[in-house]
Amino acid sequence: MSDSPALLKPAELDPATAITRQICEQMDRCLLGRESLHRLVLTGLLSRGHILLEGLPGLGKTALVRTIGNILQLDFNRVQFTPDLMPGDVLGSHILQQTESGHREMIFEPGPVFTNILLADEINRASPKTQSAMLETMQERSVTLRGQTRELPQPFFVIASQNPIEMEGTYPLPEAQLDRFLFRVMFDAVDAGVLQRIITERRQGDLPSPNWQASADDLNYLFTVMERIYLPKPVAGYIARLVAATHPDHAEAPESVKQYVQYGTSPRAAIAMGEAARANALLDGRPTVGFEDVAAVAKPVMNHRLILNYQARFDRVDASRVLTDLLEEMDETGLDLPTDVSLQKA
Amino acid sequence: MSTIDPALQSFVRRVHAMMIYRSVLRWSALWLMIAGVVVLGIRFTSDLPGDWWKYLLASWALLVAIAWYRESQRRPDPKQLRAAFDRQNHAGGLVMAAAEVDTRSWEARSGSLALPSVQWHSGSAWLGTILALVFFITALLVPVKYARLIADPPLEISQQVEDLHEQIDVLESEYILSPQQAENKREELDRIAEQASGLNPSKTWEALDQLLHTNEQIAQQQAEDALSKLNALNEASLLGKALEMLPKGLEDQKAFEEGLKQLGQLMNQLNQDGALDPNNLPPELQKAMQQALKQLGQGEGPDAEQLKQLLEALENNQDQLLDLARQLAQKGLIPPNLADQFQPGELGGLDPGPLAELLKQHGGDFQELLEQLGPELGGHEEANRGPGHAPLLYGNESSEEGAEFQEQKLGLSVPLEQAKLAGVTITAPEVTGGEAILGQGALNTAQAGGGNALAAPVLPRHRTAVKRFFTRPGVNPPAVPE
Over residues B43-93, the pLDDT tens digits come to 877 777 778 888 888 888 898 888 888 888 888 888 888 888 888 888 888
Q: So what's the pLDDT on residue B450? A: 47
Q: Which of A288, A327, A336 would best serve as a mutation to test chain B binding (most B beta carbons within 10 A)?
A: A288
Chain A, chain B: beta-carbon pairs less than 8 Å apart: 131
Confidence bin at B304 (pLDDT 50/70/90): low
Q: Is pLDDT larger for residue B175 or for residue B33?
A: B33
Confidence bin at B277 (pLDDT 50/70/90): low
Q: Which of B87, B115, B118, B120 would best serve as a mutation to test chain A binding (most A beta carbons within 10 A)?
A: B87
Q: Is pLDDT larger for residue B410 or for residue B218?
A: B218
Cβ contact (<8 Å) for A341 and B77?
no
User: Residues B124-159: pLDDT tens digits?
Assistant: 889 999 999 999 998 888 877 766 666 667 778 888
pLDDT at B380 over 50: no
* Closest CA relative to residue A210, chosen from A78, A76, A66: A66
Distance from CA of A139 to the nearest CA of B (A): 30
Q: Please tell me the distance from the alpha carbon of residue B343 to that of residue B230, in angstroms, as a whole number.
A: 8
- Please report residues of A whose CB lies closer than 8 A to that of B22: 338, 341
* Closest CA relative to residue A7, chosen from A293, A290, A222, A287: A287
The pLDDT mean for chain B works out to: 74
Interface of B with A in 84-103 (CB under 8 A): 84, 86-94, 96-97, 99-103
pLDDT at B248 over 80: no
Instruction: Answer whether B103's CB lies under 8 Å from B37's CB.
Output: no
Q: Is pLDDT larger for residue B21 or for residue B408?
A: B21
Residues in chain A: 346
* Closest CA relative to residue A222, chosen from A13, A1, A53: A13
* φ, ψ at B480 (rounded to 5°): -85, 130
Instruction: Answer whether B248's CB lies under 8 Å from B273's CB.
Output: no
Instruction: Answer whether A104's CB lies under 8 Å from A112's CB.
Output: no
- Please report residues of A whose CB lies closer than 8 A to that of B101: 1, 4-7, 230
Q: So what's the pLDDT on residue B13? A: 86
Confidence bin at B470 (pLDDT 50/70/90): confident
Distance from CA of B61 to the nearest CA of A (A): 24
Q: So what's the pLDDT on residue B289? A: 65
* φ, ψ at B342 (rounded to 5°): -80, 100
Q: Which helix (H) or strand (E) holds B73?
A: helix B52-73
Cβ contact (<8 Å) for A338 and B22?
yes
Query: In degrees, to the nearest 5, what angle opens at C-alpha B122 toward C-alphas B118 and B127?
Result: 165
What CA–CA distances, in Å, run from B472 to B370, B417, B477? Answer: 70, 19, 8
Distance from CA of A235 to the nearest CA of B (A): 8
Is A235 an 8 Å CB contact of chain B? yes
Q: Which helix (H) or strand (E) holds B118?
A: strand B117-120
Q: Packing angle between helix A35-46 and helix A10-30, nearest 10 degrees?
A: 130
Is A292 an 8 Å CB contact of chain B? yes
Strands A50-55 and A181-187: parallel
What CA–CA distances, in Å, run from A174 to A120, A127, A273, A291, B387? Answer: 16, 11, 21, 31, 104
Is B121 an 8 Å CB contact of chain A? yes
Q: Is pLDDT larger for residue B444 or for residue B417?
A: B417
Residues in chain B: 482
Q: So what's the pLDDT on residue B319? A: 82
Q: Which residues contact A22 (CB under 8 A, 6 or more apart)?
A: A212, A214
A93-111 exposure pattern, b = at least 16 Cβ within 10 A, e = fewer:
beeeeeeeeeeeeeebeeb
Is A3 an 8 Å CB contact of chain B? no
Q: So what's the pLDDT on residue A21? A: 92
Q: Is pLDDT larger for residue B344 or for residue B332?
A: B332
* Closest CA relative to residue A26, chosen from A66, A62, A77, A61: A66
Cβ contact (<8 Å) for A346 and B117?
yes
* φ, ψ at B309 (rounded to 5°): -65, -35
Query: In degrees, to the nearest 5, what angle opens at C-alpha B159 toward C-alphas B157 and B160?
Result: 65
Q: Please tell me the distance from the alpha carbon of residue A205 to that of residue A200, in angstroms, as a whole number.
A: 10
Q: Please tell me the distance from the alpha carbon of residue B270 to that of residue B310, in angstroms, as a whole number.
A: 13
- Provide the Cα torsion B180, B183, B189, B190; round to 10°: -140
Is A279 an 8 Å CB contact of chain B? no
Q: So what's the pLDDT on residue B451? A: 45
Name the residue facing B84 among A292, A333, A340 (closest C-beta).
A333
pLDDT at B210 over 80: yes
Q: So what's the pLDDT on residue A236? A: 92
Q: Please tell me the distance from the alpha carbon of residue B100 to that of residue A168, in angstroms, as a whole number.
A: 53
Is A4 an 8 Å CB contact of chain B? yes
Is B83 an 8 Å CB contact of chain A? yes
* Closest CA relative to residue A81, chosen from A132, A32, A126: A126
Is A165 an 8 Å CB contact of chain B? no
Average pLDDT over residues B398-423: 68
E strand spans, B257-334: none
Query: In degrees, to the nearest 5, what angle opens at C-alpha B471 toward C-alphas B466 and B472?
Result: 100
CA atoms within 13 A on the CB side of B263: 32
Q: So what's the pLDDT on residue B369? A: 66
- Please report residues of B whose CB lies closer than 8 A to that of A234: 79-80, 82-83, 86, 96
Q: Which of B96, B109, B117, B127 would best serve as a mutation to test chain A binding (most A beta carbons within 10 A)?
A: B96
pTM given for the model: 0.58
What chain A residue is nearest to B125 in terms of C-alpha separation?
A: A340
Average pLDDT over residues B294-320: 71
Q: So what's the pLDDT on residue B226? A: 83
Per-residue pLDDT of chain A (346 residues; tens, 9 = 90+): 445 567 888 888 889 999 999 999 998 888 888 888 889 999 999 998 899 988 887 788 888 888 888 898 888 888 998 889 898 888 998 888 888 888 888 888 899 999 988 888 888 888 888 888 888 788 888 888 888 888 888 888 899 888 777 777 788 888 888 888 999 988 888 888 888 888 888 777 778 888 888 888 888 899 999 988 999 999 999 999 999 999 999 888 889 999 899 899 989 999 999 999 999 999 988 899 999 999 999 999 999 888 888 888 888 888 889 999 999 988 888 887 888 888 877 6
Average pLDDT over residues B424-453: 54
Q: Which of A280, A283, A286 would best serve as a mutation to test chain B binding (most B beta carbons within 10 A)?
A: A286
Q: Is pLDDT larger for residue B147 or for residue B441?
A: B147
Confidence bin at B99 (pLDDT 50/70/90): confident
Average pLDDT over residues B260-289: 66
What CA–CA distances, in Å, run from A23 to A38, A47, A210, B219? Answer: 9, 15, 9, 119
- Please report residues of B whose CB lies closer than 8 A to that of A14: none
Question: Do you find a cis peptide bond into B302, omega within 30 degrees of 0?
Answer: no
What CA–CA distances, in Å, run from B61 to A275, B55, B156, B364? Answer: 53, 10, 47, 107
Q: What is the DSSP letter of B74?
A: T
Distance from CA of A341 to the nearest CA of B (A): 4
What chain A residue is nearest to B79 in terms of C-alpha separation?
A: A234
Name the residue facing A346 among B102, B105, B116 (closest C-beta).
B116
pLDDT at B424 over 70: no
Is A12 an 8 Å CB contact of chain B? no
Q: So what's the pLDDT on residue B202? A: 83
Average pLDDT over residues B96-120: 79
Interface of A with B in 14-73 (CB under 8 A): none
Q: What is the DSSP string of B405-474?
A: ----PPPP---GGG-------SSPPP--S-HHHHTSSTTTT--TTSS-TTT----HHHHHHHHHHHT-TT
What chain A residue is nearest to B123 in terms of C-alpha separation?
A: A340
Q: What is the DSSP letter of B347?
A: G
Q: What is the DSSP letter of B480?
A: P
Amino acid in the structure at residue B371: E
* Closest CA relative to residue A197, chosen from A6, A32, A10: A32
Q: So what's the pLDDT on residue B453? A: 46
Is A288 an 8 Å CB contact of chain B? yes
Instruction: Answer whether A175's CB lies under 8 Å from A135's CB.
Output: no
Cβ contact (<8 Å) for B79 and A5?
no
Is A203 an 8 Å CB contact of chain B? no
Q: Is this complex's ipTM strictly greater than 0.85?
A: no
Q: Please tell me the distance from the alpha carbon of residue A132 to that of residue A116, in angstroms, as a whole number.
A: 20
Q: Please tell me the distance from the alpha carbon of residue A198 to that of residue A209, in angstroms, as a whole number.
A: 15
Is A101 an 8 Å CB contact of chain B? no
